[in-house]
Structure 1
Amino acid sequence: MMDLIDLVQTLTSPHPLDRYLELVRPTLTVRDMRAEITNVHRSTPGSVTLTLRPTRQWKGHVAGQFVQIGVVIDGVRHTRCYSPVNPSGRDRRIQLTVKAHPDGLVSQYLYHHAAPGMVVDLTPADGVFRLPEPRPERVLLISGGSGITPVLSMLRTLAAEDHAGEVVFLHYAKSPAVLPHRAELDAIAQRHPNFRIELRYPHRAPDTARVDPDAPWVDLNQPKSNGYFDYDELERVAPWFADAQTYVCGPQSLMDAVRTIYQAEQLEDRLHTEEFTLSLAPVDAADAQGTVNFSASGVSAQNNGASLLEQAESAGLSPEYGCRMGICFSCTAVRRSGCTRNLRTGETDSDPDQPIQLCISAPVGDVAVDI
């Protein structure tokens, strides 16, 4: 069968077969995976929850993993990473909650324009931030802001499995109004007495914190809590944290606070993190010199110290990219010569003819890239 498909692909060159099939129906594909949006729910300000029906290639996901969603905006295909919020499994539906970040091109587009019937590109689930098998007896889930999505999938998976161990879910949000899936959290807390759900709103005054004293969770800032994460907060919500597996996703400040405590307690092997923000290593001003040669395009530009993706765009080029944070590998290109610095780790590399990720690589002096 695959030989026949390969033959047809050859006959339809220069375009793959799926480019012709999508003219008949966007979800009719041979190799490419896509998904149709079947439901759009804007329950909280600034975010939208999408239910997608993927094509037959979908193999399911494990709680905590992410997928890449591709949309065409003004004729250009853009890709971003989002974590499903529904439980693990091979369900024929995927649920994504997308926060519309102020400068987020794709998230803003989906928030304002997503509608039932829209078809998006989809990749298989990926990522090592995931619940293990067998399940840990004690699980601590910590999230902040839009980092709730992979952690909520873990919580919902444990609830669906009637996990008998202790589970604490600690989430930080700006206000109750922007907290998505609150009804779901309420239902989980009602059904599972061994699950504790702790919600914190650091930006709210303590005397206005508790909005529902009858809620089945511990809501907002407690009398001995300042609403921010610290060691005392950790001991309050999960005094057994040293015996648990901890999963955290959220803003860099929250990630750093959790990581600092676990490093001090020598518990790094029990801490699992997912980062959807790019933490950059400082750029040495001495590196911002020389010329960047985009060899495939015949374009050159003075090195300004920014990432190669940003410098290529400033030079008028349009290289393919996705997440812009080193996750999806959509912007990989070959460095023909010169030295580049990894903006996440600070490490440099100068081996010729090596593939690099443009979004997290900055030139050090003269560099030639095959773009």
Structure 2
Amino acid sequence: MFTQTTNRRGVRSRLVGLLAGPHGVDRYTELVDPMWTSEVRATVVRVRRSTPRSVTLWLAPNHPVPFVAGQYLTVTVEVDGRRHTRCYSPANAQGDQVIELTVARHDGGVVSEYLHRAARVGLTVGLSPAAGDFILPTPLPRRLLLIAGGSGITPVMSILRTLQEHWHGGEIALLYYTRTLADACYREQLAIMPDVTVLHGCTRGPGGDVEGHFDERHLTAAMADPDAVYVCGPTALAEAVRRHYPAAVAESFAPAPLVIPDTPAAGRITFSRSGIDVDNDGQPLLNQAEAAGLAPQSGCRMGICHTCTRRKVHGVVRNVTTGALSTEDDEAVRICVSAPVGDVEIDL
């Protein structure tokens, strides 16, 4: 009888891999079942749409996917025949076998709009190992203030749930900002979470515990003199918190402002592995590669996850978020935030 256990043994066999030819055994076994593969994949086992702009998915992976509360995973989804990769933070406690992801729908977002519209039980997605430094220190702070904006609640929920499971014993407060109360994911779960002070802030309507966008009064209302502050959300929220609490640990899911070059775009880009070269239009290499018909793997598209890292054979590129120049040959660059300056050859 052919079982998943049998398949995993086969996957590990070099002989089977050789007999399977150039595509490898995975390309054949996945035709029978997408989960019969040595790659990490997960099946959606439950779907919930609890707010107008979000969808929560529960994923059962075919291999363990360990993570520390607060980290993110890269998730690969096929949309209209093309694979797209994005970064999402689990909302469940670390150590759980089933992974819980809540995805906020962004207008024009290929993956978020697809999942919000079409996610269903049985959908298969790809997963990559956990990454990120938005994690609590050891020993744990006794007085912890967590601040979340929008979908930034997901890593915060993972931290809260992990602390609840292992009994933190200290004081915990949460400031959670959304457009309206109806947009607040996990509102019911937070309301019954013991030993956590939760304050909601509504930025586009009444009904919150604090009014408007973050300011110092909110910080005082939630917790005076915290030992540690962690904030996850839009860049504006992270920056506002750090102005009042410079030591705050911040994670932002919005790209930094682009640095506009002083001179017009010039030169040509050579995608050496594909045998394609194009005129440089000044956009990041990832955009220009896609415009040329290539489909390089990418993730966050803002220089965070490093999924799109490729080797720059030669030439100069400018980081569009910092303005820094990369001038060395044979240098790894993140093509989502690297714009060519003159002629550039990239191993793609």
Between 117-126 and 298-307, the greater mean CA deviation after superposition: 298-307
Q: Deviations over 1:317-349 (max 9, x none)?
A: 322222212233332222111101122332111
- Over 3 Å counting, the alpha-carbon distance change for 1:18 and 1:327 in structure 2 is farther
The question of whether the paired residues in 2 share the 8 Å contact of 1:309 and 1:319 is answered with yes
Task: Give the C-alpha shift of residue 81 in structure 1.
Answer: 0.9
2:98 paired with 1:115: no
Aligned residue identity for 1:326: G
The question of whether the paired residues in 2 share the 8 Å contact of 1:283 and 1:305 is answered with no
Q: Which residue of 2 aligns with 1:162?
A: 167
Aligned residue identity for 2:82: V
Q: Which residue of 2 aligns with 1:200?
A: 201
Q: Which residue of 2 aligns with 1:215?
A: none
CA RMSD in angstroms comes to 1.9
Q: Which of 131, 138, 148 is the equivalent residue of 2:136?
A: 131
Q: Which residue of 1 aligns with 2:5?
A: none
Q: Deviations over 1:151-199 (max 9, x none)?
A: 12112222222321111100100001111111100110xx32xx21010
Task: Give the C-alpha shift of residue 112 in structure 1.
Answer: 1.0
Q: Which of 247, 259, 265 is the equivalent residue of 1:288?
A: 265
Aligned residue identity for 1:52: L
Segments of 4+ moved more than 3 angstroms: 1-4
Q: How many residues align?
A: 340
Q: Which residue of 2 aligns with 1:346?
A: 323
2:67 paired with 1:61: yes
Normalising by structure 1, report the TM-score: 0.86
2:147 paired with 1:147: no
CA distance in 1, matches of 2:159, 2:281: 42
Q: Which residue of 2 aligns with 1:370?
A: 347
The question of whether the paired residues in 2 share the 8 Å contact of 1:58 and 1:124 is answered with no
Structure with a larger share of its residues in strand: 2
Task: Give the C-alpha shift of residue 287 in structure 1.
Answer: 5.9
Q: What's the secondary structure of 1:68's corresponding residue?
A: strand
The question of whether the paired residues in 2 share the 8 Å contact of 1:34 and 1:122 is answered with yes
The question of whether the paired residues in 1 share the 8 Å contact of 2:285 and 2:335 is answered with yes
2:219 paired with 1:234: yes
Task: Give the C-alpha shift of residue 231 in structure 1.
Answer: 2.2
Normalising by structure 2, report the TM-score: 0.92
- Identify unmatched segments of 5+ residues in structure 2: 1-8
Q: What's the secondary structure of 2:302's corresponding residue?
A: coil
CA distance in 2, matches of 1:256, 1:285: 27
- Identify unmatched segments of 5+ residues in structure 1: 210-218
CA distance in 2, matches of 1:60, 1:337: 37
Aligned residue identity for 2:137: P
Percent of aligned pairs with the same amino acid = 44
CA distance in 1, matches of 2:11, 2:191: 52
Q: What's the secondary structure of 2:23's corresponding residue?
A: coil
2:255 paired with 1:278: yes
